[in-house]
Amino acid sequence: MDAAPSGPATTREFMLGEGAGTGGGTQPMQLGVGPQHPAMHGIIRIVTELDGEVIRKADVEIGYLHRAFEKDCEVGGWNNAIPYTDRLNYVSPLINNFGYCAAVEKLLGITVTERCQYIRVVMAEISRICDHLTCVGASSMELGAFTVFLYMIKAREFLWELVEEVTGARLTISYGRVGGVKADLPPAFSDQMRAAFKQVREVLEEVHRLLTGNRIFMDRMVGVGALSRDETIAYAITGPLLRAVGVPYDVRRAQPYDAYDRLDWQVVTQTAGDNYARYLVRMAEMEQSMRIAEQALDHMPGGPINVDHEGRPLDPAAYVDQGKQGKTEGLLLIPITLSPNLAGQDRAAQARVNAHDKRVVLPPKETTYGSIEGLMNHFMLIMEGYGIRPPLGEAYSAVEGANGELGFYVVSDGTDRPYRVRCRPPCLPPLAALHRMIEGEWIGDLIPTFGSVNMIGGELDR
């Protein structure tokens, strides 16, 4: 009987799959992509099994950026969780703020003012555009279209200036409040927003000319990373990826909240379910978001304004003296001139944008510093063991995040801090299905497919 064939004689033969023992074929190879790979954001590891350059099997590992968001929310009061929500999807943090606040408000059974609802719509849509600009720009850069990345980031700067004007910050904004928002829109906001949107539309038109019909871009995107309609639904994927397979599901339309049911806009869909369809959906959604924000600004109500009939401001010292002397008639209707370190949301703005509920909303600074009742109200909401105390129960509320349904499930045991906060992140289902998108594709197509998912580590690894 002949002897068994010997293995490859040299290292070169082994590496090339040559030699008597290889059967003349290629050997599958394992290749790890990330977490150090720049396109993996430093927090995702994909272990691929390659047959040549084709991915035969893939295993997606998450958990490199676990932030303990849900457990941290149980440590402090209900409002203390708001800065943590900024760090979920840190590209569109305003939507996170409003989603969490809506869940707590549902638990409390309170409704924010109509003006606040419109403000939340405007700021959420600006945030959504920022998210889509970042996704399309970064994904394009990873395919070599660096000019598109620069254009998209330029457009995002116009919007971040708006966000900074309203919230005082660009990224970690902490603008939402249970019962309302931190501050009203500035007086010149309408003109600033329309000017910014004009520039953003010019950038989107330029990007369409650069990318949408570009042969190289289309070769890398059309038919790549496709997921069927049935699989997309089975994986509970929502957002642009679901709408890219033709399912017109959008939380803003399916379960309307704030003022979305009072505005005219379209749910954008495609049918191919590939990377190119997801790109088209996001590009069209930015146009719809600008349309929504402009309508919300046009229809935004003014709300009540409480002022003294003469409109005369008082010095803080004189204000306090009158209160001490018992001259309190009409005192809370008089505006007070505070120093910059004490100035905040005045009474007029407070009445417009926050719910009228002393159990939940901090009083305006004039009331806090100008009356004992206001000071006591402030302390009762701030002191350990007091604060916001929702009744015993649980509530779930969802908003449409930039990547899909963003839900918050909150449980109250009747104390001043959450018993449980659970986040339903829109990024997790697409990551669970990512291996289905890339198996059978070329290794070079992994990067554009991963970019089309728009993974945000902060909400993925809660």
Reduce the DSSP state of residue 224 to 3 states and report it.
coil
Q: Which residue pairs, CB below 8 angstroms and at least 24 apart, start in 263-267?
A: 263/121, 263/292, 263/295, 263/296, 263/299, 264/291, 264/295, 265/291, 265/292, 265/295, 267/243
Confidence at 270, pLDDT banded by 50, 70, 90: very high
pLDDT of 315 reads 59
Stated length of the chain: 462
How many Å apart are CA 338 and CA 185, to the nearest integer?
20
DSSP string of 18-82, one letter each residue:
-SGGGTTSPPPEEEEE-SSSGGGTTT-EEEEEEETTEEEEEEEE--TT---HHHHTTTS-TGGGH
DSSP string of 250-262, one letter each residue:
-HHHHS--TTGGG
Q: How many CB atoms lie within 10 A of CB 123?
A: 25
Are the C-beta atoms of residues 5 and 22 closer than 8 Å to each other? no
Of 6-15, 143-152, 341-350, 453-462, minimum mean pLDDT range: 6-15
For 11-37, what is the mean pLDDT? Answer: 65
Q: End-to-end distance of the chain based on CA atoms, in angstroms? A: 62
pLDDT of 63 reads 85
HSE of 453, CA atoms in CB hemisphere, 13 A: 31
Structure-model confidence comparison of residues 268 and 317, the more confident one: 268
How many Å apart are CA 8 and CA 27, to the nearest integer?
13
Residue 335 in tokens: 């505006």
Of 5-19, 21-35, 173-187, 376-390, minimum mean pLDDT range: 5-19
HSE of 96, CA atoms in CB hemisphere, 13 A: 29
Confidence at 305, pLDDT banded by 50, 70, 90: very low
Structure-model confidence comparison of residues 318 and 338, the more confident one: 318
pLDDT of 278 reads 95
pLDDT per residue as tens digits for the range 117-174: 999 999 999 999 999 999 999 999 988 889 999 999 999 999 999 999 888 888 888 9
Of 249-263, 313-327, 329-343, 436-450, minimum mean pLDDT range: 329-343
Are the C-beta atoms of residues 431 and 452 closer than 8 Å to each other? no
pLDDT per residue as tens digits for the range 199-240: 999 999 999 999 998 999 999 999 888 999 999 999 999 999
For 48-64, what is the mean pLDDT? Answer: 88
- Which residue has 């290749």 as its token pair? 31
pLDDT of 19 reads 55
Buried b / exposed e over 171-208, threshold 16 CB at 10 Å, is eebbbbbbbbbbbbbeeebeebbeebbeebeebbeebe
Q: What is the mean pLDDT of the chain?
A: 85
Buried b / exposed e over 395-419, threshold 16 CB at 10 Å, is bebbbbbbbbbbbbbbbbeeebbbe
pLDDT of 308 reads 38
What percentage of the chain exceeds 90 in pLDDT? 46
pLDDT at 310 over 50: no
How many Å apart are CA 293 and CA 40, to the nearest integer?
33
Are the C-beta atoms of residues 294 and 197 closer than 8 Å to each other? yes
- Which residue has 């197509």 as its token pair? 445
Are the C-beta atoms of residues 407 and 421 closer than 8 Å to each other? no
pLDDT at 175 over 50: yes
For 252-259, what is the mean pLDDT? Answer: 92
Reduce the DSSP state of residue 398 to 3 states and report it.
strand
Q: How many CB atoms lie within 10 A of CB 352?
A: 23
Residue 254 in tokens: 């399916």
Confidence at 7, pLDDT banded by 50, 70, 90: low
pLDDT at 273 over 60: yes
For 105-110, what is the mean pLDDT? Answer: 91
Residue 65 in tokens: 């950026």
CA 214 vs CA 201, 219, 353: distances in Å:
19, 9, 46
Closest CA to 274 of 237, 249, 245, 232: 245
Q: Which residue ranges form the domains of the chain, and what is each CATH number? A: 11-462 (1.10.645.10)
pLDDT of 309 reads 37
How many Å apart are CA 353 and CA 229, to the nearest integer?
41
CA 453 vs CA 61, 103, 227, 292, 345: distances in Å:
15, 26, 11, 24, 39
How many Å apart are CA 28 and CA 56, to the nearest integer?
9
